[in-house]
């Protein structure tokens, strides 16, 4: 059988079509071919700024609001331009590593910056 006819949940080869749906007799999962096409057409993964622009390593961004620096009395002012960012995989949401003049190395969340 074709790979598209295998169950996406358990990868069973015994899936069959019932009207507009595909049905897996082994795990009882049902799906439509239109839903699979919509999932493939979703936007590419990656880090996006507050306006939805895709960010890459080495980009310059602008902070869109005042941000407090944890463990310090200083803050990063809105409108501060940050050059040469690095994208990181962080579980706490801070997915941009950068160095800000006057403050030093820090991590930012992509939802608080816009691409310059």
pLDDT values of the chain reduced to their tens digit, one per residue, 116 residues: 444 578 888 888 888 888 888 888 999 888 887 755 555 555 567 889 999 899 999 999 999 999 999 888 989 999 999 999 999 987 788 999 999 998 999 999 999 999 99
Instruction: Decide if 112 contacts 93 (C-beta within 8 A).
Output: no
Tell me how many degrees the CA angle 35-53-43 measures, rounded to the nearest 5. 15
Euclidean distance between CA atoms 84 and 95, whole angstroms: 14
Q: Pull the structure tokens for residue 45.
A: 């993964």
């Amino acid at each position: 059988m074709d790979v598209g006819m295998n169950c996406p949940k358990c990868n069973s080869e015994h899936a069959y079509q019932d009207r507009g749906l595909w049905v897996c007799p082994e795990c009882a999962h049902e799906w439509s071919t239109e839903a699979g096409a919509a999932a493939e057409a979703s936007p590419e993964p990656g880090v996006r700024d507050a306006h939805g622009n895709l960010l890459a390593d080495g980009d310059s961004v602008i902070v869109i609001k005042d941000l407090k620096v944890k463990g310090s009395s200083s803050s990063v002012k809105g409108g501060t331009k940050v050059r040469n960012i690095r994208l990181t995989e962080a579980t706490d949401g801070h997915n941009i590593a950068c160095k800000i003049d006057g403050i030093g190395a820090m991590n930012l969340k992509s939802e608080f910056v816009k691409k310059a």
